[in-house]
């Protein structure tokens, strides 16, 4: 009987060690993702909108974010005061999304055709900063879910855990 009890204790201890290791690895991945996002360059909503359409100096085609089309995710951070130090860790609210055309989607948020909370914040004098993260269409749902989870965005402006878009050819622009 004691041999069985010893084996059960040993097995239970190994399971506990494995669970703690998995938890530690999960938190490590979350910390790395947060650091990578926060250490990257954010654009203010003013910078983004100022550069939405830029006239070409040589009289050629206009340039700007309007003409940059790529799939991916984006992180919009909201602050009560402008960020002057480059430290984006103390945001007040956050919104995370995905799009097959990230620049157009971000523009829609900043101009009142996207998330109402983000637009209201801008209208009431708060400051928004965006980071756009290109990724393949088939990875957008997973990346969006990971970002929302990592930044606890459902406690702010995201009403869902994300990743609900059907990115197959059949349902490229449909949500389920």
Q: Do 163 and 99 reside in the same domain of the chain?
A: yes
Q: Strands, E, within the chain: which ranges?
A: 43-44, 72-79, 93-99, 127-134, 165-166, 174-175
Same domain, 33 and 61: no
93 and 139, same structural domain? Answer: yes
Distance in angstroms (rounded) separating the CA atoms of residues 176 and 168: 12
Q: Are residues 81 and 165 in the same domain?
A: yes
Token pair recorded at residue 4: 């069985």
Residue 26: per-residue pLDDT? 58
19-71: pLDDT as tens digits: 655 655 555 666 777 777 767 789 999 999 999 988 776 777 888 999 999 99
Residues 50 and 94 in one domain: yes
SS3 of residue 26 by DSSP: helix
Our count of domains for the chain comes to 2
Report yes or no on whether pTM surpasses 0.85: no
Structure confidence by residue, pLDDT tens digits, 69-123:
999 999 999 999 999 998 998 999 999 999 999 999 999 999 999 999 999 999 9
Structure tokens at 2: 């004691």
Q: For residue 157, how many other CB atoms are within 10 A of its CB?
A: 19
| 166 pLDDT above the threshold of 50 | yes
| Number of residues in the chain | 176
Question: 130 - beta bridge partners?
Answer: 43, 76
User: Residue 48: which of 4, 8, 105 has the closest Cα?
Assistant: 105
Same-domain pairing of 23 and 60 = no
Same domain for 76 and 123? yes
Question: Are 35 and 48 in a shared domain?
Answer: no
Please indicate, yes or no, whether residues 32 and 88 belong to a single structural domain of this protein.
no
Domain that holds residue 54: 41-175
């Amino acid at each position: 009987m004691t041999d069985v009890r010893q084996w059960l204790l040993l097995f239970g201890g190994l399971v506990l060690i494995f669970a703690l290791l998995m938890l530690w690895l999960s938190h490590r991945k979350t910390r790395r993702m947060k650091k990578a996002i926060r250490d990257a360059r954010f654009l203010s909503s003013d910078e983004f909108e100022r550069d939405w359409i830029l006239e070409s100096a040589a009289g050629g085609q206009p340039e700007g974010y309007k003409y940059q089309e790529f799939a991916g995710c984006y992180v919009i951070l909201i602050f009560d005061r402008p960020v002057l130090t480059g430290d984006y860790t103390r945001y007040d609210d956050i919104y995370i999304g995905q799009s097959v055309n990230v620049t157009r989607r971000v523009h829609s948020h900043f101009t009142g055709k996207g998330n109402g909370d983000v637009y209201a914040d801008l209208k009431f004098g708060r400051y928004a900063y965006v980071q756009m993260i290109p990724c393949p269409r088939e990875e957008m749902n997973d990346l969006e879910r990971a970002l929302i989870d990592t930044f606890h965005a459902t406690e702010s402006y995201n009403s869902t855990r994300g990743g609900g878009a059907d990115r197959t050819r059949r349902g490229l622009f449909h949500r389920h």
